Structure 1
Amino acid sequence: MIAYLEGKLVEKNPTQLILEVNGVGYCVNIPISTYDRLGEPGSKVKIITYQHVREDCLQLFGFYTPEEKWLFELLISVNGIGPKTGLGILSFISVEDFHRAIMEEHIDFLTNIPGIGRKTAQRLVVELKEKFGKLDLKKELKVDSKSQTEALIEQEAILALCSLGYSRYEAKKAIDKGKEGIKEKLTVEELIKKALRQVDRKQ
């Protein structure tokens, strides 16, 4: 079992990377959340890995954080959720927001994730809520007290910024910066405007 790979980043795209380790090139499947945090080709990278073995193939999946790998393994343990769907979920939503959606049984929020219908969302809640409840995830994942409504507004703002060409990581960073020092709740439109101001200041 390969626990992690550390070496030179040869090539990257939103779904895969090639990492050279001691003269061997490894092709690793990744979520967009990991892609957004990678350096440029030629830089040194450490990727936490999960080795998926089937009769007809062997695949490596890579993650930037232990939390992403942990959630991926839980996701593919759910009936009907394969590695491709697991990566899709991690590409769309943060570990913390997914945990919150499961614990609060927010089915409508989960169906915003591409490829997740209502029945699949219900299955995720049924199979994962008990597992989440047995662990001290608030401490482990640093889950804050943000309400589900706020989380949904933030996700909608992130999607809007992504549609403008920004990466999910860039969008999340701009939104977090735009919210600094603001105590009142913001609408999606207000959040997008504040995030765009942060982006404009960097250009």
Structure 2
Amino acid sequence: MYEYIIGNITDFTEDRLVLETNHIGYSILVPVTTLANMQGVKDKVKIYIHQHVREDEISLYGFGSKEERRLFRDLIGISGIGPKAAMGILSSFTLDQFIGYLNASDEKAISTAPGIGKKTANRLILELKDKYKHHLSTSDGNTGSSATASTAKEAVEALEALAYSYSEALQMVEFVYIDGMELQDVIKKALAVRASYDQ
């Protein structure tokens, strides 16, 4: 069982990287978010590994942090969630975003991940919410940026009423939302950013 591998990245594809150490190249499946952070890095990197064994295949899944790997393992421990679906979730959201959606019981947001319907999203919330309710942000401590507060949710609903799709509205709000903002300010700023983007 691998804990982590330290080496140099020698190749990328859309869903994996090749990590070389001691003249061995390991092909490792990684979330899109991890790939984005690793591209252009020339120094040695540490990738936390989950080894998945099936009858006909042994695969290595890699993550930028132990917390991401823990979430992956918790996800695949849920009935009906395989490695592919778990990687889709980790590629769609940052760790803090996903945990924010769990804590807010936001099945609509979670169901925007590929292969995850509302029924599955509700099962994820049911099985994981309590496990992650005390999670603190691993970056700047501001979990409010994942648009999980009630004000942010109301802003998303208001933008939906203005004919934006749920995923569009969610992205707009997440881009501008800061914990403690007033509802009208969130909506105004989201619309202003969208307007400048559309020009």
Query: Under a length normalisation based on structure 2, what TM-score does the superposition of the two structures give?
Result: 0.74
2:88: which partner in 1?
Answer: 88
Structure 2 residue runs of 5 or longer lacking an equivalent are: 157-165
Confirm whether residue 38 of structure 1 aligns to residue 50 of structure 2.
no
Determine if contact 2:68/2:95 at 8 Å carries over to the other structure.
Answer: yes
Take 1:95 and 1:148, find their aligned partners in 2: how far apart are those partners? 20
> Which of 135, 138, 153 is the equivalent residue of 1:137?
135
Structure 1's unaligned 5+ residue stretches are: 161-171, 197-203
1:131, 1:157 → 2: CA distance? 28
Query: Are residues 188 and 48 of structure 1, via their aligned partners in 2, closer, same or farther at CA, if it must alter by over 3 Å?
Result: same
Give the superposition deviation at 1:92.
Answer: 0.5
**Cα deviation digits, residues 33-78 of structure 1 (max 9, x gap):** 0000013375422211111122222110011122211211111111
1:101 Cα deviation from its structure 2 partner: 1.4
Is 1:114 matched with 2:114? yes
- Cα 1:139–1:90 change in 2 (3 A) is closer
SS of alignment partner, residue 89 of structure 1? helix
Q: 2:119 is paired with a residue of what secondary structure?
A: helix
Give me the identity figure in percent. 32
Matches of 2:11 and 2:168 in 1, distance apart? 30
Q: In the aligned structure 2, how far is the partner of 1:129 from the partner of 1:41?
A: 34
Structure-2 residue corresponding to 1:185: 186
Give the 3 Å change call, closer, same or farther, for CA 192–120 of structure 1 in structure 2.
same
CA distance in 2, matches of 1:73, 1:31: 14
One-letter amino acid of the counterpart of residue 30, structure 2: I
- 1:29, 1:126 → 2: CA distance? 27
Q: Note closer, same or farther for the CA distance 1:104–1:56 as it changes in structure 2 (3 Å cut).
A: same
Displacement of 1:193 in angstroms is 5.5
How many pairs does the alignment contain? 178
Aligned to 1:62: 62
C-alpha distance in 2 between matches for 1:76 and 1:31:
14
- Output the CA distance in 1 between the equivalents of 2:80 and 2:58: 19
CA RMSD in angstroms comes to 3.2
Judge conservation of contact 1:110–1:121 (CA < 8 Å) in 2: yes
CA, structure 1 residues 189+49, in 2 after alignment: closer, same or farther (shift >3 Å)?
farther
Give TM-score scaled by structure 1 length.
0.73
Question: Shift of the alpha carbon at 1:22?
Answer: 0.3
Structure 2: how far apart are the matches of 1:191 and 1:38? 28
SS in 1 for 2:56: coil
How far apart are residue 144 of structure 1 and its match?
2.1
1:36 match: secondary structure:
helix
* Aligned twin of 1:150: 152
**Alignment correspondent of 1:201:** none
